[in-house]
Amino acid sequence: MGVAAHRQNRPQMPENWCPFDPGSGRVPDQFDVLIYPNDFAAFRMDAEPFSPETGLYRKTGARGSCDVVIYHPQHSLAPSQMPVEHWRKVVDVWIRRYRELVAVPGIQYIYIFENTGASIGVTMPHPHGQIYSFPFIPPLIERELSAASDYLRDQQECIYCRILRDELASGVRIVAENPDFVAFVPFFARWPGEMQICARRHFGRIPELSDTEAANLAALIKKVRMKYDNLYGFPMPLMMLLRQSPVSGDHPYFHFHIDFYPIQRSATKLKYLAGVESGAGTFLNDTVAEQKAKELRETAPLD
């Protein structure tokens, strides 16, 4: 758990002024994709280093970083409207920043993600994502790593390679694919229309992407985002989460993928995490993975 009480003072934005707009005085007058340090970060590079204490309530410093990645200079452009070539620039910025953060001592995990949509609590409509660097491996990542590691030990196979092979063989949950990446609704989807983009090749971190793979990743992200936004005819409120290996060590069981958690369960209803989800960790998904995959597959752009 992280306490970031100073974040309560985050400002309400004055109307019609956006710090991420060229000309705001806060960002350069011209840019394509921009890394912008978060003024109200949960982690800071000048914080005390992470050093676990003993006792019931362990407190440590929060050394790390929280960057905003401003995807595009245009304020009201939805991420799905950005051209593929522009998504490619975002992927390149992710890789560049990843390489910089890996060099910082004490950083154990680099988490690239995006929250989009007012109903998800995003006050800033300008297209942007975030990069957090953690002085520890976050618990859900830790759990996924350990499950994947157990699977490799017991089955002598990467669980993601196995899932991908089975998904491609049956095809019923596939939404879109290209030569390097496949998008599908996982059998174990917890969110209505949850999708995963999985790399066809087995590797763990984005700096390992080849040029062609980076271009194909950009193309499939664009396609998935368009499908989401076309599904109900408005930008889908969602989380987009890049899953990578920790920055150091060998993790042969891990396989790069991106999770998309849309929170809209119909055109007019949101999915809330209520008692069963928040208190028991059991997701009740009111949609069937195969049906949702079909809907998304048949939503423009088609393959």
Instruction: Measure the CA–CA gap between 97 and 303, rounded to whole angstroms.
Output: 32
Least distance to Zn ion, CB of residue 117, Å: 15
Give, for 289, the enclosing helix (H) or strand (E).
helix 289-297
- Which of 107/159 has CB closer to Zn ion? 159
Read off the amino acid at residue 140.
L
Is 145 a binding residue for Zn ion by CB under 5 A? The answer is no
Q: Which of 202, 251, 265, 294 binds Zn ion (CB under 5 A)?
A: 202
Is 227 a binding residue for Zn ion by CB under 5 A? The answer is no
Least distance to Zn ion, CB of residue 202, Å: 4
The mark string for 252-271 relative to Zn ion (x by CB under 5 A, - otherwise) is: ---x----------------
Interface segment toward Zn ion; rule CB under 5 A; list 44-52, 171-179, 198-206, 233-241: 198-206
Neighbours of 228 (CB within 10 A): 25
Q: Which of 160, 191, 228, 260 binds Zn ion (CB under 5 A)?
A: 160
Is 198 a binding residue for Zn ion by CB under 5 A? The answer is no
Read off the amino acid at residue 148.
A
Nearest to 295 by CA among 271, 264, 273, 258: 264
Is 176 a binding residue for Zn ion by CB under 5 A? The answer is no
Whether residue 284 contacts residue 192, with contact meaning beta carbons closer than 8 Å, is answered with: no
Is 223 a binding residue for Zn ion by CB under 5 A? The answer is no
Neighbours of 226 (CB within 10 A): 18
255 is a catalytic site residue: no
Interface segment toward Zn ion; rule CB under 5 A; list 15-23, 45-53, 128-136, 137-145: 15-23
Q: Which of 161, 172, 239, 270 binds Zn ion (CB under 5 A)?
A: 161
Instruction: Measure the CA–CA gap between 148 and 157, rounded to whole angstroms.
Output: 9
Read off the amino acid at residue 150.
D
Interface segment toward Zn ion; rule CB under 5 A; list 97-105, 170-178, 196-204, 259-267: 196-204
The side-by-side arrangement of strands in the sheet containing 174-177 is 34-37, 65-70, 128-134, 109-116, 238-243, 257-262, 195-199, 181-184, 174-177
Site for Zn ion in 63-102 (CB under 5 A): 75
Please identify which of the residues 128, 202, 251, 257 carries the catalytic annotation. Answer: 128
- Which of 161/168 has CB closer to Zn ion? 161
- DSSP code of residue 291: H
Is 20 a binding residue for Zn ion by CB under 5 A? The answer is yes
Phi (first) and psi of residue 86, to 5 degrees: -75, -40
Whether residue 176 contacts residue 293, with contact meaning beta carbons closer than 8 Å, is answered with: no
Which residues are part of the catalytic machinery?
128
Which residues would be at the binding site for Zn ion (CB under 5 A)? 18, 20-21, 75, 126, 158, 160-161, 202, 255
